[in-house]
Structure 1
Amino acid sequence: MSSSEESQYLAGLSKMVFFDIVPQQSSQAFLWSLFNSITDPIFVKDRQHSWMFVNDALCQFMGYERAELIGKSDYDFFCKTEADAFWERDEQIFTTGLSDEHEQLITDYQGETRIISTKKSLFSDEVGNSFLVGSIRFIGSKNKIETALLCQTVNKLEQEIHERQETEKRFRRHSNALQQLVQSEKLQHDDFQIAIQYVTEVASLGLDVERVSVWLYTEKGLGIQCIDLYERENNCHSHGFELSFCDFPRYFQALKEEQVIAVSDVHNDPRTWEFSASYTTPLGITSMLDARIWSKGQVIGVVCCEHLATQRQWTLEEESFIGSITDFVRLVIESDNRKIAEEALRQSEMQLRQQTQQLELALFELQRTQIQMLQSEKMSSLGQLVAGVAHEINNPVNFIYGNIAPAHDYIQNLLNLINLYQEYYPSPVPVIQSQIAAIDLDFLMADLLKLLSSIKIGAERIREIVLSLRNFSRLDEAEYKAVDIHEGIDSTLLILENRLKTKPNCLGIEIVKEYGNLPLIECYAGQLNQVFMNILTNAIDALEERDEQRTKQQIRQLPSVIQIRTEIINHNQIAIKISDNGLGIPENIKQRIFDPFFTTKPIGKGTGMGMSISYQIVTKNHYGTLECISSPYQGTTFVIIIPLKQQQLAN
């Protein structure tokens, strides 16, 4: 079904719901069931842009009940920027009557940014009222799509670098052969042909073009002859073609006036118009880079490089490269200056190596970005999972916690009633006395309130854990938020509490907090929590590794301690210092601690990306600094400095 047919079908169904079906309960129930069985969100709006109908899928996407959505507009649920975009497109449909289909980014009620495809169409009832019907289809999350595109880019660049490295090897092999020929006493005729063949292949490899040819002027001076033509696709050489000056006068005049002729589009450049019918068009040539061969004050030939299929903008480096190739051809022809020839070859090889190094650097940066995006996506997914679990746990815990107080009152009233019975009926019948003894009534009455108190403490503990999970997994990737940094640190410590507390074979790690009086800080809270988690986890690992080599007596004499200190250091910066009293970090390791993929942990225990990502989060995302201060046996301190307000730096 095409897009237009689908829109018409959707409009027809909506019209049936509102206008063409008699108000019979069975028919309406059938249509409601039909719409709610569709997994894509569907909605209908009136002329005032208010929702008149929404199916279950849209309710689930919005995170609201149907009754909360009906009669409301986009401005009641989305940010103003998104709502303005919806309103403008809807109004265009109402005004023109034309259907609309488009893709856009949208943030759902859980804070996840996703790409959706929306289809909308217009219909009217019998009395002329207009209604808009639309459907939504999810394409994917923004992070996942960006990550997939980045992976494709990395793979393509890796392939390009591999090809470039192979090209460089062939280039070096040919240039070495050329140097050997130049260093010989005199180039023989056969050697000359071989040298020119090497030249054309070197030029093809260095410039990444499909065809390279070397032409020399004929003895009579009336034309030009092809000494060698190299075709990279077929990996073959040919020669013997001749051209007359009379056939291409404008081009040969340009050769006398210009050292290099760079043509990005042969069909729109006056210098190559005369080639189109007989040469460039039949061969599929789109761009040309030619350089004249100059010897003893006159033009003696030309090196011609031809690019096929797509237009190409030649760079200054490429023009310089073809210039060095023509210098070498001249020297091969003259065969009287070996040092200059060798220098020309060396320059050409150096330029190719620089291009390869630039590609390798770009690949390294892309790979690091790819790892960071994958890690960010994992943390985002983990955050959504944690937030969802915390939300689901929070509801029953609140139910339990909210019922503890009335349960306490009810039980207290029952105990008071039992006390009254014991006071006024001290001698119950034997059956009751037997049951009192069986259940140990006195202990039960004394322990029941203690039991309720324990349940209350446990429920409060679960609420604290849920709150910490929600604080730690903040879904705030879209914008900076003003948050309490101390809440993020405390929630991270609570998650790590199992590793900090005393165990049968471990005395635990003491946490010392020295929190300053900080205001709310504008930051990506979830990302900073990730930094705290990475630094604290590394500190715990280091302290546990040291304690495994010490006795309990040694640990009691010098217990493991992690100190966390926060303070304002100037009018727009705060410092967060996380220190441990472990063995410290050697200087050679400290210098590489923020390098991607560097780790001192065994295989399977660390990826080497935690501190690298933390460094990027602090320095690039928050315009701050992250410093490691450590000496052997003197402990380690990580100092995080970030601004109070991010927009001051942005402006």
Structure 2
Amino acid sequence: MATPELQHSFQTLLQTEENFRSLVENVQDCAIYMLDPFGHVISWNVGAEKIMGYKAPEVIGRHFSCFFIKEDIEQGLPERELEIAKITGRVELEGWRLRADGSRFWASVVVTSLRGEHGELRGFVKIIQKKNTAKEAEEALKIANESQEMQIDQRTAVLKNIIKQLLQQIRERQKIETQLRDSEQRFRAIFDQAAVGISQVGLDGRWLMVNQRLCDIVGYSASELLQSKFQDITHPDDIAADCEYKRQLLAGEISSYSMEKRYIRKDGSIVWVNLSVSLVSDTSPIKNQDSTDSLHYLQSVPKYFISVIEDISDRKAAEQALAESEAKLRKQATQLKNALQQLKRTQLQLIHSEKMSSLGQLVAGIAHEINNPVSFIYGNLDYAAHYITDLLHLVKLYQQQYPATPTIQEFQDKIDLDFLREDALKLLSSMKQGAERISQIVLSLRNFSRHDEALLKEVDIHSGIESTLMILRHRLQPKPGFPAIQVIKDFGNLPKVQCYASQLNQVFMNILSNAIDALEERYITSNICSMPCAQCPTIHIRTELLDGERVAIYIADNGPGMTEEVRARLFDPFFTTKSVSRGLGLSISYYIVVEQHGGELTCFSQPGKGAHFAIVIPLRQK
């Protein structure tokens, strides 16, 4: 960015040039005009219009050879004139020149080359005065002999005045140039000693000027950088964004930009920098074709980019370390969360294992203790039936052979011998049915617990379901104010399934118990037990074989259903909608089906539409 002194000097220079331009444009006795380096007219004063006969719009942009006679053009005089001025800096000559109407006049010409600060050619200034030939002089003497000296004096005075003003302008320009050199020296000192990298970059991306700090940042010498472009050391992933910003600068869409980018150092390592860029433009003279004025300074021409580069590698390293630390903490937090979940599952499994172990031992013990006396009773009932039949037959024979005494007759009437004879066999039959029922319950208890079958075995899934229903039979019976729960079984043709039978039976027990609880909640609290049979409490159990490799067990009820919030957490460890004393929830069932058997346990439910559980396990465990 330019310093205030530079800006002031530049404004002063512009004002000086404006004054000089105004002076030149209003000189009428001399044709003064400027050419670009290729000989095209770029300015035209009043004197040129008067002497040459052209208006400014007619001549601006044309090659100055149009003012030469044909013979001089054929001899290459216009080109030699500029070439000599380019070499010597100034050339004076005389010759014929053409006016706009085709007439010629003898002219005295001074051509001066214009060069920039670094010696580059900027163009030429031509001053032309009309000079009379001998013939013209004779005619002029006849017409204006008396006024010749006065005209010469006037022209001399004008030229002296012009020269004086030109000298003043030159002295002012030299003063400004001195100030600019001083300012440039101060800028150079700041540029070279800055703590950040500073550079000038051409519009094509080439480094034009770099300071030592930038060289230190990227590891290249100044001479190496000045032979390359910024794209050559920019990380490929950052080139597009940098070029897009520069395009926006050149289009005038933004005044500056900053971005973080990566340079590739000479040793191949990556350095992160913060880049701030602005565009430096120059004001160039252009001709406004819609105006009769000869010169206008209207166009801003981009020259180069100024870049400030700050090394932010340490900050980036700190950010990277922080990000890695945060990632490590997040990973540890995830591991801790997983460990906590695993701990909960383990705790749940331990509780369940302890319960199942105790339950298995208890059921096995009870089944054993009950089975012995029941077997004894059941085994002796047939003998007892034979004995009683024989005794009744003996009593009948006594009645036939010996008349009853009054005492015997009285006792027969008291015990109602005929009823006893008829009911005794019915009583024995009922006792036999009761013993068979107890045996079935004992078998169901043993099948449910399977305490002696801890390993994988091929079992009948339907047998496990039937055993579970047998144990829950008392809960399916009608109660005061609550009808019986109807169980609809739709069993498919299933082969034996390799599984942990006691664990799978526990899943059936949990789901069926929950279904019964839900039905009791709906049909007791809502007092709708008198509704039609289609809406009576019902549990539907269906099984089927899937793709020959999996078995599906569906258990559905027409209870109150559940909300999506409850359904989403249904299999979470320790989640339950019941009191703590009534169960551990369905998470252990999920663990048994999914983790132990490699299967799937899903639930579909909506409020008021019951619940539908699907258990899918493979026929064979891997």
**Structure 2 length-normalised TM:** 0.48
Structure number with bigger Rg: 2
